[in-house]
Each structure stands twice: as C-alpha cells, then as structure tokens.
A = this chain, B = another copy of it.
C-alpha cells in the first residue's frame, strides 16, 4: 500500500526499422493460408498494439470481434471484410484506409490476392466460434508473447 501518488516518468519513443525485422508465422489456430506478420509496438497502459501483416492470395483470418477500435492501412492487394456494420461487409482495395469500430464483428477476413496491411489496435481481438463464444481473447500481452515465442525459435 502506498499513500502518495507515485512519480511517473514520460514514456519513451520507439522506432522500428521494418525491413530489419523478420516475418513470423501468424498462429494457424487464428488464420489460414500462410499469413505472416511483424509486431511493431505494444502499449501496455492502454492495451494497444500495432503490427504489419502479409497475407497471401487465398488466406484468411478466423472470425473475431474487435474489442476497441482498430484502424488499417491496406498497402497492397484486396481484402474482404465480411460481417461489418452492414450486411455484406466491405471490400478494401489498396491503398485503402478502414476504421473498424469497437465491437465490430468480422465473421471472415479474406484476401483474394497477395495483400499487405498495417494496423493499429486499441484493445484486444476476441476470436469466436460459430456460437459467438470466445476461442481466444488476444490482448496486447498475448500478442507480445506470441511474437516473442515465434521469433525466439
């Protein structure tokens, strides 16, 4: 127990030279078709993180709900986001920007050509089964753990 607010220092800036970071395999339990990624940042206080994804033609992410807003910048290719706020979802074509709102449910995210995107996330991804039950709740810490496990091999 501590009765006075602690003195806290400002957070340091960080820089990542992206080509110096190797691609890691994205967990197969949460995707199909050989998606690879680079973790760029985690923000432990807010629970945010940032990553870059490379998605081959035909690959996809498993169904998930965004718990907190996420923003993507599709730099290459074409991404189908099914089950967004509307009924039929969205098709993003590079260069494209998307704001995925807090509680957006994506029953499938599918890439019909080789694609790449950068994405910032505030809060976790809730991967779900057909009944909407949580299969994996992926927070910034799980993301960092997965990254470190993949890159320490």
Question: Contact flags (1/0) for A111-131 with B, using CB distance below 8 Å?
Answer: 000000010101110100000
Chain A residues packing against B (C-beta within 8 Å): 1-21, 39-47, 50, 52, 67-69, 71, 73, 75, 84-85, 90-93, 95-104, 118, 120, 122-124, 126, 133-134, 137, 139-141, 144, 147-148, 151
Question: Chain A at the B interface: mostly helix, strand, loop or mixed?
Answer: mixed
Min CB gap A37→B, angstroms: 12
- Residue contact B14 to A99, C-beta cutoff 8 Å: yes
Contacting residue for A1 out of B8, B10, B90, CB 8 A: B90
- Which B residue sits closest to A102, measured CB to CB? B47
| Given pairs A3-B16, A43-B69, A46-B122, 9 additional interface contacts (CB within 8 A) | A4-B151, A8-B44, A12-B101, A16-B98, A47-B102, A47-B122, A67-B67, A103-B139, A134-B134
A39 neighbours in B (Cβ, 8 Å): 5
User: Which 9 pairs from chain A and chain B are nearest by CB?
Assistant: A45-B45, A3-B20, A134-B134, A11-B101, A14-B99, A47-B102, A18-B95, A16-B97, A3-B17
